[in-house]
């Protein structure tokens, strides 16, 4: 009948193929994964924009302070929850058996966060995000192959080649554009941070699948807070002191120039003088 009316008959099995694709792609697990991934991407994008805005507009260069706040929130929620668990899930039991493993893991994660947030002060925002994705994915796949015994198809390796090509393109564009040396330093910082991120993500996936998500987040909160606090006091104490003094100066507008004990304690008189000049001029 369809041939008489001049229509082409439907290919056999096309309806069943569409139903099969719909059943495979539009499942609750896949849709939930996509939704959570987009929410995570939005949060990362927000971190990138706010970090670069603070660095360029207000000269606030405190990447470790930003990470420290996140770890503190995890500590207050998941570490406290872990303290009330019993048996093998108890906080003290986990701490006694696996403390050194979580210290190493958190050290990698803290430094990865520090390097990425620090990198937003050097190159452009798009350059940081592109390098982070293009280089992080190949390293992540390589580590998953050897640690998690993941296996990939040919299309995955083609995608890795495209990612590496993107890394070369972004770095080459910065060189050919004749940008400042700080931009190239920022590219190197991003590549180091992406490598550490890949190590951290593979270890996180192993822990979450093999052990417990609550245990992982609780230990992240504990050791992440401790490590980031120590590094914060070592490398960013002057920046934080400057930030505190600038907030006090802006809020009161009548505090004598750096006679404040906080400013003198951290030795940032010259910094505050320059800051005050920038604020009023």
Angle between helices 213-235 and 63-74 (to 10 degrees): 150
For 31-54, write each residue's pLDDT tens digit.
888 888 888 878 877 877 887 777
Residue 4 has pLDDT above 50, yes or no: no
For 125-169, write each residue's pLDDT tens digit.
667 777 777 788 888 888 888 888 888 888 888 888 887 787 777
Backbone angles phi, psi at 84, to 5 degrees: -95, 5
Q: Note whether 71 and 225 are within 8 A (CB).
A: yes
Measured distance CA(198)–CA(72) in Å, rounded: 23
Residue 10 has pLDDT above 50, yes or no: no
Determine the pLDDT at residue 255: 47
Q: What element of type H or E holds 70? A: helix 63-74
- 113 Cβ contact partners less than 8 Å away, ≥ 6 residues apart: 63, 67, 70, 193
Determine the pLDDT at residue 142: 87
Residue 107 has pLDDT above 80, yes or no: yes
Res. 174 pLDDT band, cuts 50 70 90: low
Tokens 């393109």 map to which residue? 169
Q: Note whether 246 and 252 are within 8 A (CB).
A: no
Res. 179 pLDDT band, cuts 50 70 90: low
Determine the pLDDT at residue 225: 92
Average per-residue pLDDT for the chain? 75
Res. 175 pLDDT band, cuts 50 70 90: low
pTM: 0.69
Residue 234 has pLDDT above 80, yes or no: yes
Q: How far is CA 21 from CA 9, 14, 16, 18, 276, in A?
A: 21, 11, 9, 5, 63
Measured distance CA(105)–CA(92) in Å, rounded: 18
């Amino acid at each position: 009948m369809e041939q008489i009316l001049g229509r082409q008959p439907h290919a056999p099995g096309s309806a069943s193929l569409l139903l099969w694709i719909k059943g495979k792609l539009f499942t609750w697990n896949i849709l939930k994964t996509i939704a959570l991934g987009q929410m995570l991407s939005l949060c990362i994008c927000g971190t990138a924009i706010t970090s670069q805005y603070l660095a360029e507009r207000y000269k606030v260069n405190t990447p470790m302070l930003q990470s420290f706040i996140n770890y503190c929130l995890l500590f207050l929620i998941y570490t406290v929850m872990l303290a009330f668990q019993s048996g093998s899930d108890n906080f003290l039991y986990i701490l006694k058996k696996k403390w050194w493993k979580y210290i190493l893991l958190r050290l990698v994660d803290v430094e990865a966060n520090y390097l990425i947030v620090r990198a937003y002060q050097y190159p452009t925002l798009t350059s940081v995000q592109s390098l982070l994705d293009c280089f992080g994915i190949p390293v992540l796949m390589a580590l998953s192959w050897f640690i998690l015994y993941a296996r990939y198809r040919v299309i995955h390796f083609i995608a890795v080649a495209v990612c590496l090509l993107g890394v070369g393109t972004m770095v080459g564009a910065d060189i050919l554009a004749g940008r400042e040396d700080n931009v190239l330093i920022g590219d190197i910082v991003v590549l180091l941070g992406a490598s550490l991120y890949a190590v951290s993500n593979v270890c996180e996936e192993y822990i979450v699948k093999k052990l417990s998500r609550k245990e992982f987040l609780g230990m992240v909160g504990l050791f992440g807070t401790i490590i980031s606090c120590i590094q914060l006091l070592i490398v960013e104490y002057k920046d934080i002191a400057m930030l505190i003094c600038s907030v006090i100066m802006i809020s009161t507008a009548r505090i004598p120039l750096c006679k404040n004990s906080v400013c003198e304690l951290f030795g940032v008189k010259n910094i505050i003088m320059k800051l005050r000049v920038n604020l009023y001029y």
